[in-house]
Amino acid sequence: MAFKKFIVAYDGSADSDKALVIAADLAQNLVAKILLVSVYEIPATLSDASGYSDWATDLEKIHKEKVEKGKKYCEEKGIEVNAEVLQGSPAEEIIKYAQQEKADMIIAGTRGLGGFGRLLLGSVAHNLVNYSTIPVLIVK
């Protein structure tokens, strides 16, 4: 299998930065494209709240700024890159996007929760590994 298109789940966190660095190294070596994806979720209980529209707009803006940072990093390394911000359940949206784009691999970071939780994957990483039919690389 030739790896030519990577989806990178990117939220601007330290772990997603690590995932992006690994993805960029792979993309450079394989002359592959990176599709950065940031997903924000609005709890259903807030959809009826006053100011919902403003809040959703602010969340989208924050995520766009984060993926632009990641996009700039890739561009500085000469990697072909696109950035997308999606709304919904993060793992579900990342998997759907990866399938739609016919990605070869999803790359994501995990998070350290401290104590016992450190042994566990973050919920998004856990769901990606368990539900994606596309290969998933989790970066610590």
pLDDT of residue 92: 96
Which residues of the chain are under the pLDDT cut of 70? 43-52, 112-121
For the CA atoms of 86, 131, 114, 26, the dihedral, rounded to the nearest 10 degrees, stands at -70
Q: Which range marks the domain in which residue 71 is found?
A: 5-139
CATH number at residue 50: 3.40.50.620
pLDDT in tens, 43-72: 666 555 555 677 778 889 999 999 999 999
Residues contacting residue 87 through CB under 8 Å, at least 6 positions apart: 39, 40, 41, 42, 56, 60, 93
Is the pTM above the cut of 0.95?
no
pLDDT at 118: 42
How many domains does one find in the chain? 1
